[in-house]
Amino acid sequence: MSEAKLRAELALSLELHSKEGLIGYNGHVSARLPGSDRVLISPYGGGLKVGPTDMVTLELSGRVVALGPAKLAPPSESPIHMAIYRLRDDVMAIAHTHPPLSTFFGIADTPIVPVHVSGAVFGAPIPVLDDPDLIKTHAQGERLARTLGPHRAVLIRGHGAVTVGESVQAVFLASLYLEENARHQLFASLLGKPRSYTADETSRVRKATWGQDGARLSAKIWTYHLAKWGLGAVTADGQHTMARAGPAAAAGDSAPGRRRRPPKARRR
C-alpha cells in the first residue's frame, strides 16, 4: 500500500471511529509504513478536521520525523503505539479508543468474554491493564504492550481500550466488534447470566467469520460503514472518492474532516 493511501485510510478510520462513538475529542489511530521502522499517527488536537496530510511520522523510538503542514504534534499517548509495534511484528495498525460500554467492564472488574459472533474474533477474555493513568512514557507503554500480549484488544481500566490488527481496516473492525460484544454481554446480563461461547464454539465461529486472515471481513465492514456515513472510498493512489449518497452525506458530511456548506437559499 502506498503512503498516500495509508494516510487517507487513517483519516477515514479516525472519522469512522468518531461517528461510531468510539473516539471523541481524545483517541488516536496509527499504522506502520510498510518496509520501514516508521509509523504514521493521527495528531494531537486535530479533532474532526484531521486529514491525510496531518498525520505525524514517527520512528519506533517515538522520535518525530515529520509533521504535517499544520504542524500538529503527535498525541501524548503515542508510547502506546510505539511499544506495541516494537513488541509485535504482526501488528500493522493500532487504535486507542474510549468505547463507553467496553470501558464499563473494566471499571466493574468483569471480564469481556465471547458471547456473540463479534466476540469470537477475540477468542479469550479481553485482558485488562489495571492502571487508569494516561500512558505517556516508554515504561507505561511497554507495560500495556505486555498486558496485550498476543491478543487483538486490551482494556485500560477506567480509561479506554486499544485494538490492534493487520491493517487499518482490521483495526476498525476490532474496535467495532469489541464494543458490539460488550453491548450484547451487558444487555444479556440484565436478563440473567450471559452464556459465553465455549472454546470449540469460539474456534468454529471465528473460522467461519474471520477466515484465514480476516481481510475479506474487514473490507466488508469497512466498505459498509463508509457507505453508511457517505464517506466514499480510497483509491490505490490515495485519492478519496466520495459516495453518491448516504445518511451522513445527506446530513452534510463529506470528506474526512470537512463539512459541506448548507445550500444557499433561493431568492424569491
pLDDT of residue 242: 57
Q: How does pLDDT run across 83-102, given as a tens digit for each residue?
A: 999 999 999 999 999 999 99
pLDDT at residue 240 in the model: 63
Fold category of 3-251 in CATH: L-fuculose-1-phosphate Aldolase (3.40.225)
pLDDT for the residue numbered 197: 98
Q: Which pLDDT score, from 0 to 100, does residue 232 have? A: 80
pLDDT on residue 23: 94
Main-chain dihedrals φ then ψ at residue 70, nearest 5 degrees? -80, -5
Whole-structure pTM value: 0.87
